[in-house]
Amino acid sequence: MTVIKKNEVTYDAIVIGSGISGGYAAMELCTKGYKTLILERGRMVKRGEYPTANKDTWEFPNQNLLSQEEIEKHYSKQNGLSLWVYQDTKHWINKEDEYPYDEDKPFDWIRGYHVGGRSLMWGRHCYRWSDIDFGANAKEGIAIDWPIRYKDIEPWYDYVETFVGVSGQKEGLKQVPNGRFLPPFPLNCAEQHFSNQVATLPVAEKTVTICLFSVVSEIVYDKATGKAFGVKIIDAETREATKFFLRIVLNSRSEEFPNGLGNSNGELGHNLMDHHYGMGVSASVKGFEDAYYKGRKPLGFYIPRFTNIDEKTKRKEYFRGFGYQGTINRGQNHPEGVMGEELKQHIFKPDPYMLYMTCFGEILPYHENKTFLNFDKKDKNGMPIITFDAKLRENENGTTQGCGVKCGVEMLAAAGCEDIQSYNDLTSPGACIHEMGTARVGHNSKASVLNKWNQMHDVPNVFVTDGSFMTSLGTKPPSITYITLTARAVDYVHKQM
């Protein structure tokens, strides 16, 4: 991998952003022999350079907590759930005072600017979308229809899962098509370690060029050819502007052009979605007291969506549904109201097994939920400030929400769990770090930004393959679907050349 200083050079392809989609795009382009440039606005992170990954809680100051003062100064929005920002993660999360954004309605935008992006932080659950997901918009008359169905991308799921290494058990569910699985982790369905540093960038390494601290300010459009012919960047360290020239752009930052490139129908920036993250259940699980576990499993269990998948499970109160991710483990045993020698006797024995599961609810694609650039306000690089204006609406607030908790409680009670607790909080969009939409794929240029190959209707040599292409949200963690459509888009580009 060549790390270059900025120069005016021509490339076959330019990938904007080195996150999970950008890394995969660069690998595919390099493998097919294209001279590829990655523009990354943040710093370099090399494979293995993860300063805190192998440390235990007690190796950090203050039991891994940040001071309240530090959180207020740098992370107050992103730590809205008190869940993400700790001593062992803060170097992957932007300081808000350095990278500001605005909210017309509360939005927890959790992200870091560095090579690999959030592929260093993701939850690693990988489940295929099914036609229950792809067909939902058309069936229910919501937003616009997806221009693809499962059969269009099934071979591409096979292709990327084989590279990534996804472990799991073939359950044969119609809402979760079977994947190309490695053997499952004992008891649970889980996914092996995958980040851009470990996987895609080493494959691209021999031929890819990466340019750091490069904030893309503009994709330069050529009126004569109707194509993009370059990318303008601003150096985040020197504030100097440079141009790169190209033949194809794989754009992973489409929301940077809300009134500009690719936005002739005004759809860019609209239909912003994220999973509703405010519901969960916990309980104690009896039995297995004489057994223990060792090591750290990468993941716990997953319960896929089970409502509105067919006539039998149809709910009249709401559209779509929710899935759950959870873990069962034994914690510290310190019962309330006990002191002295008796407390010590408890402490030396492990706690009963505790189950925790979080609900991931589907938020519908609403045109009114949007993000846009405020050109009247600029950041330190002179870039317009991004503003979020999105909220949970009727389908999420009224019905889906309560049902996610109620179903969870019923399941745990039926499974014989005790001490069942639940929570049902209204969280802001963004909090689940699954923000999607804003440059959706569709059948035609009237209501979508991209065609079924992730290619911009307006500018045919610009492709968008990050989560912004999503036309609806689904309930599953999205990364595997992003990289599947990325690999498919690169193959399409290759066949057009």
Partner 1 sequence: MPHFFDQEGHTILKATIDKILPKTESPSATEVGVYKIIDTMVGTVYKPS
Residue 82 touches partner 1, criterion: CB under 8 A? no
Q: How far is the CB of 57 from partner 1 (least distance, A)?
A: 12
How distant, in Å, are the alpha carbons of 35, 109, 193, 209 from that of 120? 25, 16, 10, 20
332 Cβ neighbours under 8 A, 6+ residues apart: 347, 351
Nearest-approach distance from CB 455 to partner 1, in angstroms: 50
The total of other beta-carbon atoms located within 10 Å of residue 457's CB is: 19
Q: Is 343 in the site for partner 1 (CB under 8 A)?
A: yes
For partner 1, which stretch binds (CB under 8 A), given 213-221, 339-347, 428-436, 486-494? 339-347
* Longest pairwise C-alpha distance within the chain: 83
Least spacing, CB of residue 71 vs partner 1, in Å? 10
Count Cβ atoms below 10 Å from residue 400 Cβ, excluding itself.
Answer: 27
Query: What's the CA angle centered on 109, arms 196 and 447, to 5 degrees?
Result: 90
> CB of 348: closest distance to partner 1 in angstroms?
8
Q: Which of residues 7 and 63 has its CB atom nearest to partner 1 in the complex?
A: 63
Give the nearer residue to partner 1 in terms of CB position, either 60 or 185. Answer: 60
Closer residue to partner 1 (CB): 54 or 68: 68
Q: How far apart are the first and last CA of the chain?
A: 25
Residue 63, sorted as left (phi over 0), alpha (psi -120 to 50) or beta, turns out to be left
Q: Name the segment binding partner 1 (CB under 8 A); options: 26-34, 110-118, 125-133, 337-345.
A: 337-345
Query: Under the criterion CB under 8 A, does residue 339 sit at the interface with partner 1?
Result: yes
The residue (of 139 and 344) whose beta carbon lies closer to partner 1 is 344
Of 297-326, binders to partner 1 (CB under 8 A) are none
Q: How far apart are CA 285 and CA 293, in angstroms?
A: 15
Helices (H) and strands (E) in the chain, counts: 10, 18
Q: Is 284 helix (H, G, I), strand (E, B) or coil?
A: strand
Binding window for partner 1 (CB under 8 A); candidates: 107-115, 167-175, 340-348, 399-407:
340-348
Q: Does 426 bind partner 1 (CB under 8 A)?
A: no
Q: Choose the stretch contacting partner 1; rule: CB under 8 A; options: 120-128, 201-209, 310-318, 341-349.
A: 341-349
Distance separating alpha carbons of residues 417 and 482, to the nearest angstrom: 36
Please report how close the Cβ of residue 284 comes to partner 1 at its closest, in angstroms: 24
Closer by beta carbon to partner 1, 138 or else 343: 343
CB nearer to partner 1: give 345 or 496: 345
Q: Which residue has the tokens 């992370």?
A: 75
Phi and psi at 67, nearest 5°, equal: -70, 150
> How far is residue 18's CA from residue 24's CA, in Å, rounded to a whole number?
9
Residues facing residue 221 across a β-bridge = 228
CB of 312 to partner 1, least distance (A): 52
Residues of span 122-161 touching partner 1 by CB under 8 A: none
* Token pair 């194809």: residue: 248
CB nearer to partner 1: pick between 4 and 338: 338
Strand 241-251 to strand 10-16: parallel, antiparallel, or no bridges (unpaired)?
parallel
Find out whether 160 and 24 touch, Cβ atoms under 8 Å.
yes
Residue 92 beta carbon to partner 1: minimum distance, rounded to whole angstroms: 21
Q: Where are the alpha helices (DSSP H) in 82-142?
A: 131-134, 136-140
Of 84 and 244, CB closest to partner 1: 84
Q: Is 344 in the site for partner 1 (CB under 8 A)?
A: yes
Helices (H), 20-164: 20-31, 68-74, 131-134, 136-140, 150-164
Residues in contact with partner 1, total (CB under 8 A)? 13
Binding mask 55-74 for partner 1 (x = CB under 8 A): ------xxx-xxxxx-----
Closer to partner 1 by Cβ: residue 58 or 292: 58
> Which one, 1 or 71, has the nearer CB to partner 1?
71
Q: Which two tokens stand for residue 213?
A: 């601290």
For residue 339, the minimal CB distance to partner 1 (Å) is 5
With CB under 8 A as the contact rule, the residue among 240, 290, 311, 341 that binds partner 1 is 341
- Binding part of the chain for partner 1, among 115-123, 142-150, 225-233, 333-341 by CB under 8 A, reads 333-341
Burial code (b: 16+ CB inside 10 Å, e: under 16) for 178-209 equals ebbbbeebeebbbbeebbbbebbbebbeebbb
Q: Which stretch binds partner 1 (CB under 8 A): 95-103, 142-150, 260-268, 336-344?
A: 336-344
Alpha carbon 93 to its chain's center: 14
Smaller CB distance to partner 1: residue 65 or 220? 65
- By C-beta, is 339 or 414 nearer to partner 1? 339
> Least CB distance from residue 385 to partner 1, whole Å?
29
Q: Cα-flanking dihedrals φ and ψ of residue 423, to 5°?
A: -135, 150
Asked whether position 332 contacts partner 1 by CB under 8 A, the answer is no
Residue numbers at the binding site for partner 1 (CB under 8 A): 61-63, 65-69, 339-341, 343-344
